[in-house]
Structure 1
Amino acid sequence: MELPDFHIPHAEKIEWMIETDGWALEPVSPRADTDPPLPAYAYTIGLPALLGFPELVVFGLTPVTSRGLIGLVVDAVRGGTEIPLEVELVGLLENELRCAFAPVDIDTHGAFFETARSWYRGGEFSMLQMIYPDRNGFMPYETGYEQRMRLAQPVVGTFGSS
């Protein structure tokens, strides 16, 4: 017995996620063939239309973890929370861990977001990097940040001394 082919064109998957949840998550697999290697990352498509909030990118997490973390932000913004940019925020993550939202220059880093660029048909869109601490609470731009995490969470957004 042959199984049916469930292959759906990628654009239709994005459209289905947006119709279902109001936004889509685009996970990108890590690449070891680049210098430096590119970690796994995931970004949103659809937040500006849903919330009037920029798209979000998170580096170094699994797609499920990224979706959960971004879901926290989406729920907070939906609930009326204002998310400040380029400052550390306490209270969004558990255990009073800090996080930050840093604007990403699409002209410089647009290659990270090919599906979003296609979705927006080459039009402009804004992207924020959600920066999160290592397990010891250090942010990537701080002395003490876990060295092995530096490749997992590159800071591509503009924030502080980055």
Structure 2
Amino acid sequence: MSDEKREKYFKMVYDNIEKYGFHNTYVMEEIGFTPFGYSTGIYKNFRIPELFISGLPNGLTNTLITNYAERFKFKEIPLNKKIDDLIDRFPVYFIEVENDKLTEYTLSSFKFYENSEFNYLQLIFPDLNGFFPNEAEYDYDQEILGE
């Protein structure tokens, strides 16, 4: 990415954070590469962890991040507990992810926060048959980075 494009991109990120309180970034699927999306600005503006999602399409990822921010801003997040109503399609749960596991993924967040404190959760979702990654029958391409 050229310096001009990078500067334009980060201006958009900062503008979205200023206007909406956060920005969603989505990285498309490629051969041998699982798509992912993440938030930037939620921790600063809503005092809850940023959110990382692996393996879902762009629109669904954006909806989940937006619903998460709206539902949990300034509240405590339940970890490792199924939530049935974040979206009407399937249950999800949240796990903690260490920032050092996300350095290659969440570049906009690392630039935005620079040396400031922030943290992430990962949203975990079931496969098409309703099985979660910790179940033997699970069959879906979701990269799990947290615990």
CA distance in 1, matches of 2:69, 2:29: 25
Distance 1:111 1:124 in 2: 18
Amino acid in the other structure paired with 1:89: I
Task: Say which one has the larger Rg.
Answer: 1
> What is aligned with 1:155?
144
> Normalising by structure 1, what TM-score?
0.78
The percent identity for this pair of structures is: 26
Return the match for 2:85 from 80, 83, 91: 91
Structure 1 residue 106 and structure 2 residue 99: aligned?
yes
Q: Structure 1: how far apart are the matches of 2:47 and 2:138?
A: 33
Q: What's the TM-score once normalised by structure 2's chain length?
A: 0.85
Which residue number in structure 2 is paired with residue 55 of structure 1?
A: 50
Q: Which residue of 2 aligns with 1:16?
A: 15
Question: Which residue is equivalent to 1:26?
Answer: 25
Matched, 1:132 2:131: no
Question: Does the Cα contact within 8 Å between 2:126 and 2:133 map onto a contact in 1?
Answer: yes
Gapped runs of 5+ residues in structure 2? none
Count of matched residue pairs: 142
Structure 1 match to 2:108 = 115
Query: Does structure 2 retain, via aligned residues, the 8 Å contact 1:117–1:123?
Result: no
- Mark the CA change 1:62 to 1:51 in structure 2 (over 3 Å): closer, same or farther: same
CA drift of 1:31 comes to: 4.1
Structure 1's unaligned 5+ residue stretches are 1-6
2:14 is aligned with 1:42? no
Shift in Å, 1:82? 4.2
Tell me the residue number matched to 2:135: 142
Distance 1:153 1:51, change over 3 A: same
Tell me how far apart the structure 2 counterparts of residues 123 and 140 of structure 1 sit (CA, whole Å): 32
CA spacing shift, 1:48–1:109, aligned 2, 3 Å: closer
Please provide the CA RMSD for this pair: 2.0
